Structure 1
Amino acid sequence: MKKKVLIVNGYFDSTRKAAKRPWKVPQAMAPMFLSGAFNDEYVDIRVHNEQALGPVDPALLSGIDMLVLSGLNSAFDRYLHLTAYAKTQNLNVIVVAGGGPVRILPELSKRYFDYVCLGDVEQIQDAIKDAWGSQYVCPLMVETGFALPKYALGNTRSRLKYVETSRNCNFQCDFCSLTGENNAYMKYSLEYIERQFREQPGGDLYAVIDNNFYGNSRRHFEQKIALMESIKNDWHKQGKSLSWAALVTSNFFNEKNLSMVKKAGCDYLFTGIESFNQEFHKNHNKHQNTLNSQVDIIRQCLDAGIAMFYGYMLDVVNSSVEDLKDEIDYMLDNHDIPLPSYFSLPIPMLGTPFFYEQLENDKILPNVRLCDLDDTTLSLRPKSSIEETLKFTRYIEGLSGDKSRVFMHSVKHTYRRRRSLRLRQHLVATVPALLLTAQQSLVKRKGGAASQQRTHLAGTDLLHESYKPEMTVDSRYQAYFEPTYLTDANGDITEDLAPDLVKEAPIAVGLDRLAIKA
């Protein structure tokens, strides 16, 4: 009989509700890539992305032989929930865990999971071989070291398709989880890239989910663009079109590069604007954003006929609430540029230079839980009072009081840029801005109203609905539903996490003080 495998992208929605976000872009693709490591001849695979589909039904964890877990740093406790469900129903199930939480917390992870994968998705083949034998590994992975994602296991009805042409990033912004993991930038072969496109014909839009599509090799970048232009021309002869989106860093933007990608079918770009304050970029080792004005970059992109998306970090640690409100007002009043796709509070991502700097400066609040490390929860001491900052946090979650300004901005921006972008680009580009004001009501309809209101303050905020078990779990795993704490009542790293985080701490940020706790 074939082995049964369930691959889950563990996810806690920032609203703390059992929300479904199928419209959120990008979706987690690690489960698709992980699925490509298994040999279909010997394994039946199911994939569940909790970001898009909501929390997995514990019944799906019954009867499986292996549970594979992936997710973001804040999802560590979700890994524990799923492990508890699986082990309760089958004590012999093999649990393989990887992704950000495990790479940053390997010692803690070894307590709970059978296999702890600290490398990239391809490392799962080592766990498969050790558990069952090499015949269970996809022959393509054995031959090339890579496996083609099993796209058919995902949402095949979606007209949005995903491809990847490189991995990691060649920059080291101090707050980025990629910097904390310290993995080298890696380029994929042109053959592997082309195969991803050819395996998914008929999409309306292809999202290139690289952390940095531009990268550090001009030659590889130009080769990728030539390949994508070739695919575009081939598909055009067949009556199909190729429209794609990618994430690039600010050093990408010049007339030549924009012209090249536009000719190859690029209609949308996302970049980490983060802030219009240049001091912000200097303080966070984001020097690529100081080469040009961020507003000029956006205008240059739109002038080239490419819609622009960006995120914006509201640095409550170093800026007052009053100053941050002025920044939002500037964006709402500037109809020549689009609004951000999202606003985020600063997050002390585990293992990053920013995390250790905040820890050394006693900026991390007491009793912070891993699940509090999201973009709508205050986990750092703000410049303004905590009360004023929390009021501001509730405001940015839905831009309450400014919904009409958001709508009018979208209308006026679309009119002003009516000659730069096509109608479809305008429609796609308008969605994130409107969702800034609507996503709370969408989540309520899908996940039900919460029994209590959020505080948005780490350590006191309500826990995600998933912390309440949906089935009776074995007594050995009941503690898996208790939240994992990052800091204790004094704001120091907890004893559970100290072996991992102290080991990674650079001496320059207070290794001696941390070692006391270990």
Structure 2
Amino acid sequence: MMQAGQKRRVLIVNAYFDPWRSASPTRLFVPRAMAPYYLAGYFDPDLVEVKVWDEVFHGALLNRRLLEWPDMVVFTGLTAAFDRARQLAAYCRHFTPQVVSVIGGPIARALPALCDQVFDYTCQGDVEEIGAVIEAVFSADHVADRTAPRFDLTAPTMGVGYLETTRNCNFACSFCSLSGEGRAYSAHSEASIDGQLGAMGKAFGVMVLDNNFYGNNRSSFEWRVGKIGERWRQGQFRGWGALVTGDFFKRPENLKLMADNGCKALFSGVENLDPAVLRTFNKKQSLASDPLSLTQACAEHGMFFDYGVIIDFAQQTVAEVDDQVSGILSDPRIPLPGLLSLTIPIAGTPYFDEAARAGRLMPNVLLSDLDGQKLVEWPQEPLEKVTPFLRDLLKFRGRKMALSRHAFRHAWHWRKHLGWEQTVLSAVRPLHRFGGNFGLGSPRQMRQSFREPALTYSVMTDTLRAAYRPLHRLPSQFAKDFEPLRVTDETGALSDQFLEARSGASSLTA
């Protein structure tokens, strides 16, 4: 029973299963998940106390007091984290039966029918939809008059501020969840961008969170660059970075415009060094995205270049991937990729549907297996050859000396074109990314990590992670909340459970 004048209590959780099976925080990963902080901005701070827990940044949520605390718990996260969100909702319901559970983001859009069954409210739209939930559960008075993100809740920030100027993407890469959702690319209003910049305050650097900062509207792009550049010239931050698609680099004047307005880093999804693979991804905008030429073009304008690489053993051999990685390590001019992942058949994407039709999915794939760090599709070569190679590649085992040597040689090579911060970043980033995670967290988190079964890098041999065993004694009615969602059955066909989970679509189901 709430007392008069008592604030409502809302917990917002970014649910996450660490692919390396660590329960400890990943503090240095950039960018951080910002959806919880944007959601928090919709609650009136005078009437609602909001707490945020990001299982990437803060580590696994194992604190019973926090799970007992809220009147409302709001979940977001990537699609593969559905099981984790369901587990946390079960804990909250057990400790506080009257708690209201809400889910949104990619999970809700990919699995609407199942989310309707598990959670009290399912939001398939953008963060603004939480306003209707607040009004329905509490009252209209509990919705904030001004909905600026609650960046004050992000501490510690390590000097990095975050900004979103557009939503979605104007391309349709077959493996991207945005392609499956099919939502239109759009730019934020000037009031929204100004509100975010105001809430951010002074920062060392700013990371623009857009899926595609460049977009398909030239005037909008130039205006947004100028808007950020104005704040940079005023001294709000020392520089900023953004993600752009490959077509951005086809106009050299784009680089000059960004550099003149304080941009210090660009990330672009090179994705794969084989044009044939890129075509199967419908990644035509990256066919000319050679990492060396893009690195050089950025460096000449004083910008650090970063990129991601996706490996597809259904189309590539071990020898081909090994040659590509060795080629990068042998050339200090080319940066190591900031992201190295297997192709992920994300539920709802064209790539997933094609993989399912072609029979490429392995038997007994769980939704939580789709994290890009284990084999879930049949490779073209035997598993006993591919799996150990993948295990070593993702952690650069046997290449640690080459990794360290390349990182420092790369930073030294481009030092005259970059500032000291960028030079340090170019040396440290690959060491942090591939050198291994020390797994420092709370005693409870480290104990949870110790309980984890070893990762085998193949869905054919992997066992359930420790989170599927409840930490607390729960009544039998919650047993189903700790059962994994199976994508494929023992034959490799899509499971009935998964097909039912994908069916139906409704918004704001109470």
TM-score where L is the length of structure 1: 0.92
Is the counterpart of residue 419 in structure 1 residue 416 in structure 2? yes
| In 2, Cα distance between equivalents of 1:478 and 1:234 | 56
Structure 1 stretch displaced more, 476-485 or 94-103: 476-485
The structure 1 residue matched to 2:54, chosen from 49, 55, 77, is: 49
Structure 1 stretch displaced more, 152-161 or 352-361: 152-161
Is the counterpart of residue 155 in structure 1 residue 155 in structure 2? yes
The structure 2 residue matched to 1:128, chosen from 131, 134, 146, is: 134
The alpha carbon displacement at 1:500 in A equals: 4.5
The structure 1 residue matched to 2:117, chosen from 111, 119, 128, is: 111
How many residue pairs end up in the alignment? 494
| In 2, Cα distance between equivalents of 1:20 and 1:44 | 24
Give deviations 1:348-393, integer Å, cap 9, x for gaps: 1001110011101100001000110011111000011111111111
Q: Per the alignment, in what secondary structure is the counterpart of residue 86 of structure 1?
A: helix
Question: 2:356 maps to which residue?
Answer: 359
Question: 2:508 maps to which residue?
Answer: none
Q: Which 4+ runs in 1 deviate beyond 6 A?
A: 443-446
Assess, with a 3 A threshold, how the Cα gap between structure 1 residues 451 and 60 changes in structure 2: closer, same or farther.
Answer: closer
Question: 1:33 maps to which residue?
Answer: 38
Q: Per the alignment, in what secondary structure is the counterpart of residue 118 of structure 2?
A: coil
Is the counterpart of residue 200 in structure 1 residue 221 in structure 2? no
The alpha carbon displacement at 1:478 in A equals: 2.2
Aligned positions of 1:466-505 closer than 5 A? 466-501=467-502
Q: Per the alignment, in what secondary structure is the counterpart of residue 345 of structure 2?
A: coil
Contact conserved, 1:58 with 1:471, CA < 8 A, in 2? no
Aligned positions of 1:435-514 closer than 5 A? 435-442=432-439, 447=446, 448-449=449-450, 452-458=453-459, 460-501=461-502
Assess, with a 3 A threshold, how the Cα gap between structure 1 residues 121 and 305 changes in structure 2: closer, same or farther.
Answer: same
| In 2, Cα distance between equivalents of 1:392 and 1:282 | 25
Assess, with a 3 A threshold, how the Cα gap between structure 1 residues 291 and 402 changes in structure 2: closer, same or farther.
Answer: closer
Is the counterpart of residue 306 in structure 1 residue 303 in structure 2? yes
Structure 1 stretch displaced more, 429-438 or 332-341: 429-438
Letter in 2 for 1:326: D
The alpha carbon displacement at 1:441 in A equals: 4.0
Question: 1:20 maps to which residue?
Answer: 25
Letter in 2 for 1:28: A
| In 1, Cα distance between equivalents of 2:289 and 2:91 | 51
Contact conserved, 1:108 with 1:496, CA < 8 A, in 2? no
Is the counterpart of residue 328 in structure 1 residue 325 in structure 2? yes
Aligned positions of 1:9-408 closer than 5 A? 9-56=14-61, 57-140=63-146, 147-235=147-235, 241-253=237-249, 254-408=251-405
Identity of aligned residues (%): 33
Letter in 1 for 2:391: R
Give deviations 1:83-136, integer Å, cap 9, x for gaps: 110110111110001111111100011111000111111111121122222111
The alpha carbon displacement at 1:230 in A equals: 1.6
| In 2, Cα distance between equivalents of 1:443 and 1:320 | 36
The structure 2 residue matched to 1:5, chosen from 2, 10, 21, is: 10
Q: Per the alignment, in what secondary structure is the counterpart of residue 102 of structure 2?
A: strand
When the two chains are superposed, the root-mean-square deviation of aligned CA atoms in Å is: 1.8
Letter in 1 for 2:367: L
Letter in 1 for 2:149: P
Contact conserved, 2:36 with 2:76, CA < 8 A, in 1? yes
Assess, with a 3 A threshold, how the Cα gap between structure 1 residues 311 and 194 changes in structure 2: closer, same or farther.
Answer: same
Structure 1 stretch displaced more, 344-353 or 222-231: 222-231
Structure 1 stretch displaced more, 467-476 or 302-311: 467-476
Letter in 2 for 1:484: L
| In 2, Cα distance between equivalents of 1:150 and 1:405 | 42
TM-score where L is the length of structure 2: 0.93
Ranges in structure 1 where 5+ consecutive residues have no aligned partner: 141-146, 505-518
